[in-house]
A and B are shown apart, each in its own frame.
Chain A
Amino acid sequence: MSVSVRVPTILRTYTGGESEVTAEGATLAEVLDHLDGAYPGIRARVVDESGALRRFVNVYVGNDDVRFLDDLATATPDGTQVSVIPAVAGG
């Protein structure tokens, strides 16, 4: 299961400046684990000490916010795009 992951600016120090990288995994949790193998430390920036998504990060699988799906257990079918985006909002 290969997926592409869009990396926000503040995490590109981990990916050598790359804005999009590929990773493996059937679920978002597996994708993040796999990413951490390639880019050590990146997982802890997205997931907190308790293992939950950080409060101010939004992760999308395809066009959907994983908080509307199954959070870290959200399935990541082959070819899906995963986007990690800081949570900001304001009319």
Chain B
Amino acid sequence: MSASLAERVCPEGLDPAAPSAATPPGTSAATSTTPAPAPGALRPGAFGNAVGLTCRECGHLQDLGPHYACPECFGPLEVAYEFPAVTREQIEAGPRNIWRYQALLPVPTDITESPNTEPGFTRLLQADNLARELGLARLWVKDDSTNPTHSFKDRVVACALSAARELGATTFACPSTGNLANAVAAAGARAGIKTVVFIPSNLEHPKQVNSAVYTEQLVAVNGTYDDVNRLASEIAGEEEGWAFVNVNVRPFYAEGSKTLGYEIAEQLGWRLPDQVVIPVASGSQLTKVDKAFCELIALGLVEAKPYKIYGAQATGCSPVSAAYKDGHEVVRPVKPDTIAKSLAIGNPADGPYVLDICRRTGGAVEDISDDEVREGIILLARTEGIFTETAGGTTVGVLKKLVETGQLDTELETVVINTGMGLKTLDAVSDRVGPAAVIDPSYAAFAATGIS
């Protein structure tokens, strides 16, 4: 019963309980009895229950290692697992951070013993005020602004750090739109590994400071994020010992976003929501939340049920939304022009998969203007006391638009993901909010304002 529904809900190949075509453990580098050539010598269990890397496009399989593109077709690589039985009780007995899901991540069982930022298990808030404002029956906000460096990126970086450590990397690096740079610089400092982080030079000042405070090697690049990303890919191909979290250890890194999906389900009492609205930059987070839901169903940790996944973009960088609306299966790159800089990826690598997932689940991809992004930030702050950054303003604004356009069912239970903290993008709303009055310290002056 649950298996047949899982097949209907989740695509083939993402079912972790299905017999894996991955390399048998006995032949993988992890358990090889002959000395492996450096840097391929992995300790047993270095990547937990992961058994290989499979190409999402053509299915080509390769051993675990610092690989990120399929040698056959350039397709992105996904971590393949052979999961043992995993119970709710085992997970609930774990630490109050993402490592409670160690068995479902490409990290070793002793992960909690190595210094890391211990992100995750952030609050899931029932958002009754915002629900009432928008006319929704039941709404939750998954608030990832409370992570150690105030965005969901601490989750993915913690998984990338584990991979970097297991692969013997000496430099921990990333190209970033800002939040990732913050997370990499902080995690590297805590782990005692050298960091180099690359950002577009026009990035918001707070995001620059939030990285530079943790690392001496913040590099501002004249160009867009896509230019920075390209530079990182070239450096990754030339420099030995560099782990670029979202380039050459990307398959491991990306798995960290699954923990958002696991936590939402666990915090709802081990069940899936009906609808989830997720911001789309590269599209990785959205695809991993879906993967997490599919894994939980396949492992029997939640009951199988249909759910809809919605993607949120800012119109100034909305290649995935445009492709969705045009009925295309490929995403045409754009040059970003939006205040939502953490979503400003003009050439989103996981865009095609976002389209697949939103269409498969009956969701949608929608976009809103920069003014609507600002309104979304203020709306969430005024209704729920959560100060989100522009990405969260985009998600809340898109939620509002989905309701207004009838694309979202207001009677169903909905979750929106707030991925980051408003203090990092103060400029977005600093001319929209401020003192209602500036007065002398006298009662008469106060009374004259009419504030009561």
B116 interface contact, C-beta 8 A: no
A57 to B284: give the CA distance in the assembly, Å: 17
Known: A45-B74, A67-B333, A68-B333. A90 touches B230 (CB 8 A): no
Q: Which of A56-88 contact B (CB under 8 A)?
A: 56-58, 60, 63, 65, 67-68, 83, 85-88
Chain B, residue nearest A57 (CB): B74
Chain A, residue nearest B419 (CB): A91
B227 interface contact, C-beta 8 A: yes
A43 interface contact, C-beta 8 A: no
Q: Do A86 and B333 touch across chains, with their CB atoms under 8 A apart?
A: no
Contact with A along B409-450 (1 / 0, CB 8 A): 000000000000000000000000000000000000000000
A15 to B70: give the CA distance in the assembly, Å: 17
Known: A86-B68, A90-B253. A19 touches B237 (CB 8 A): yes
A54 interface contact, C-beta 8 A: yes
- Interchain CB contact (< 8 A) of B246 among A8, A58, A88: A88
Known: A60-B230, A65-B347. A89 touches B246 (CB 8 A): yes
Q: Do A88 and B247 touch across chains, with their CB atoms under 8 A apart?
A: yes
Contact with B along A22-59 (1 / 0, CB 8 A): 00000000000000000000000110100000111110
Q: Do B333 and A65 touch across chains, with their CB atoms under 8 A apart?
A: yes
Known: A6-B234, A87-B347, A90-B253. A56 touches B57 (CB 8 A): yes
Residues of B near A13 (CB, < 8 A) are: 71
A53 to B67: give the CA distance in the assembly, Å: 21
Residues of A near B333 (CB, < 8 A) are: 65, 67-68
A45 to B330: give the CA distance in the assembly, Å: 19
Contact with A along B217-238 (1 / 0, CB 8 A): 0000000011101100110111
Chain B, residue nearest A6 (CB): B234
Residues of A near B74 (CB, < 8 A) are: 10, 45-46, 54-57, 86-87
Q: Which of B169-202 contact A (CB under 8 A)?
A: 176-180
Known: A85-B234, A90-B253, A90-B281. A10 touches B71 (CB 8 A): yes
B43 interface contact, C-beta 8 A: no
Known: A56-B69, A56-B75, A68-B333. A90 touches B227 (CB 8 A): no
Chain A, residue nearest B75 (CB): A56
B289 interface contact, C-beta 8 A: no
Q: Do B282 and A89 touch across chains, with their CB atoms under 8 A apart?
A: yes
Residues of A near B284 (CB, < 8 A) are: 90
Q: Do B342 and A91 touch across chains, with their CB atoms under 8 A apart?
A: yes
Interface residues of A (CB under 8 A from B): 6, 8-10, 13, 19, 45-46, 48, 54-58, 60, 63, 65, 67-68, 83, 85-91
Interface residues of B (CB under 8 A from A): 57, 67-76, 153, 156, 176-180, 225-227, 229-230, 233-234, 236-238, 246-247, 250, 253-254, 281-282, 284, 330, 332-333, 335, 342-343, 345, 347-350, 352
Known: A56-B75, A67-B347. 10 other contacts (CB 8 A): A13-B71, A55-B330, A60-B230, A65-B226, A86-B69, A87-B74, A88-B246, A90-B254, A90-B282, A91-B343
